[in-house]
Structure 1
């Protein structure tokens, strides 16, 4: 179990024909309470899909009762018809689960942008009753129903003292912050109000999903949702809950990184000795988005010069001629000059660690990214054909 590991939740995932593969493509997670609370973080892309527009409005009106998610179509840039499809989906779910307010139903979609017709609508709305009938407290199918180009399901569970957190996620491409490209549903049976959930969720996402930058591309459909049922009757210390939630989000971010489209290296860029946390993030992100660096890692080439060139484009406070750079534990650059021979560094393992020491302060941050491969280019060159 994942999102149904906490008490007070049921979920389901079924195939309705949105995907040509016949795999599950419509999911539903219902919060049965007894005391519902929720928090949501959305993409900061100005171009937003119809489900995001709906869910933003819904989230302002009170705690969510349920969230319905489809893969196989983003329902983005589909005009008034697409927004109406989202509204009808929420209304169908509300009716099927006995909710008296469709605006308490969050909606998420993922897939190709610009597609969505009457057939798409009918496959979703018409199959909501069957989806609701499949709801179960021991369900394991919802995690598969939200996947697109993902090769594996992404889940996490944390057991607290009398309370639990469960989560599912999707994401393999367009992974960049604000929010990192994904759909995530997190559930907990802890007894917490929406304000406490919002604070914990924003703190957790800022240290995990917002530091995942696989390809620098931000989606139109990103949404991370946290639902609380209060079914455990336990109110954890808010700091303890926030730490546990951060752990769950960090696990999911790592799983997203490991499944990034076409990648052959998972790269952790650790920036140390920064004047501020913001500087550390800016420096790490400048490397994560540098195609020359990413291509070098694909070729198992520890080209530390590309790291220095990348970080030199930032406005962070540091002296480029005092920086150290290490690849997989081998310091190749010291004080802005060559140190150890590059042939001492082995970049053949998938897991790659790059350490950048700025000597400008006491702050640090790690940005997750991936290399740039032939497979990534091929997969995305034929995505819509």
Structure 2
């Protein structure tokens, strides 16, 4: 049920013809109240799609009635026509739902730089179809409608203390952080004040989606939205809620990592004993974005020298000649030199766990990435065909 697991939410996903496959491509998620609290975080890419520009304005008052999402077209770099399409989509949804267009967020995903009258007509028609099909059982269909190169729909639900959180996510490529990653809609029937919703969402995304860095490519369309309606009438302990929300976001982030385009390995990079969490993230990300390291993992090669070379490009505090590195439980490097034989490292399984011990502080952070494969290159070279 994903986004319709919490009380007071309805959703739908329909096929409007945006995808040549005939699969669902327009989704709508509606908050039926009683509260209409909304918060969102967006890509920090300066090149922003029209739905991002619209949604950043619409969420400013922290009131959100509905979210309309489409796959099959990013509506990015489509000029004034594209922004008008986004505006008209919000107006269409608002008219049919009896709400203000300024309280409807819009999300799009797909190929950049495409959009015409046929695209607009399909999005508007799909919005109308989806609203007509809204139901408390429509969460699964909505999750399917936002897929592009995804092979599976990503959903998660957490129930705790009388309230529930539900979420759906889309993402298989262009997975790099910038406050948010991919398209994600999260709903809850807990009672949250607007500022609380914004705070817990940013805390959760900062620890989860913001540390998923599969290919170092930041999208123009990334958005994570949290809707809270208070239908459970339960005011949660904010720390307990934040922990549950972070757990749900982490579950979705791991599903996104596991479905990354063409990936053969899911790599968890755990940086230990850094001076600060920020520096631990910087070190982890330097490895996550190192193509030589990622190619080595694809080839099942425990090339720890590439790890040290990557972290040496950062501004983090550490002694390059006093770093330990583990790969799948085997310490291959200690004090900046060789330790156990490389042959002891088994990288044939999909899960790969890399530990980097900087030995300079008490902070830690984990960054998620994938290997660099032939399939990734092929899929992204043929994406528009």
- Tell me the TM-score range normalised by the shorter chain: over 0.9
Deviation at 1:369, TM superposition (A): 0.2
CA deviation map 1:241-273 (0-9, x unaligned) = 100000000001100000000000000000001
Deviation at 1:126, TM superposition (A): 2.5
Counterpart in the other structure of 2:24: 24
Deviation at 1:318, TM superposition (A): 0.4
Counterpart in the other structure of 2:132: 133
Write out aligned runs for 1:224-235 (5 A). 224-235=224-235
Are positions 1:236 and 2:217 aligned together?
no
Moved segments of 4+, more than 4 Å: none
Write out aligned runs for 1:203-242 (5 A). 203-242=203-242
Q: Distance in 1 between matches of 2:128 and 2:360?
A: 59
Q: Distance in 1 between matches of 2:129 and 2:176?
A: 35
Write out aligned runs for 1:64-83 (5 A). 64-83=64-83
Counterpart in the other structure of 2:265: 265
CA contact (8 A) 2:68 2:127 kept: no
Write out aligned runs for 1:78-97 (5 A). 78-97=78-97
Any idea what SS the aligned residue of 1:356 has? strand
Counterpart in the other structure of 1:113: 112
Q: Distance in 2 between matches of 1:259 and 1:3?
A: 20
Q: Distance in 2 between matches of 1:260 and 1:206?
A: 20
CA contact (8 A) 1:61 1:103 kept: no
Counterpart in the other structure of 1:285: 285
Q: Distance in 2 between matches of 1:240 and 1:23?
A: 38
Any idea what SS the aligned residue of 1:147 has? coil
Distance 1:177 1:368, change over 3 A: same
Counterpart in the other structure of 1:122: 121
Counterpart in the other structure of 2:307: 307
Deviation at 1:128, TM superposition (A): 2.4
Write out aligned runs for 1:306-345 (5 A). 306-345=306-345
Deviation at 1:160, TM superposition (A): 1.1
Counterpart in the other structure of 1:250: 250
Q: Distance in 2 between matches of 1:271 and 1:189?
A: 36
Deviation at 1:181, TM superposition (A): 3.4
Q: Distance in 2 between matches of 1:188 and 1:244?
A: 11
CA RMSD of aligned residues (A): 0.7
Unaligned runs of 5+ in 1: none
Q: Distance in 2 between matches of 1:75 and 1:203?
A: 29
Q: Distance in 2 between matches of 1:18 and 1:157?
A: 29
CA contact (8 A) 2:15 2:126 kept: no
CA contact (8 A) 1:12 1:131 kept: yes
Deviation at 1:74, TM superposition (A): 0.1
Q: Distance in 2 between matches of 1:5 and 1:368?
A: 28
CA contact (8 A) 2:16 2:125 kept: no
Deviation at 1:131, TM superposition (A): 1.3
CA deviation map 1:192-218 (0-9, x unaligned) = 111001000000000001100000000
TM-score with structure 1 length normalisation? 0.99
Q: Distance in 1 between matches of 2:249 and 2:226?
A: 11
CA deviation map 1:3-50 (0-9, x unaligned) = 000001000000000000000000000000011111100000000000
Deviation at 1:98, TM superposition (A): 1.5
Deviation at 1:62, TM superposition (A): 3.5
Any idea what SS the aligned residue of 2:5 has? coil
Deviation at 1:180, TM superposition (A): 4.7
Any idea what SS the aligned residue of 2:364 has? strand
CA contact (8 A) 1:23 1:145 kept: yes
TM-score with structure 2 length normalisation? 0.99
Any idea what SS the aligned residue of 1:168 has? strand
Counterpart in the other structure of 2:102: 103
Q: Distance in 2 between matches of 1:209 and 1:126?
A: 32
Q: Distance in 1 between matches of 2:35 and 2:285?
A: 40
Write out aligned runs for 1:171-182 (5 A). 171-182=171-182
Aligned residue pairs, count: 384
Unaligned runs of 5+ in 2: none
Counterpart in the other structure of 1:195: 195
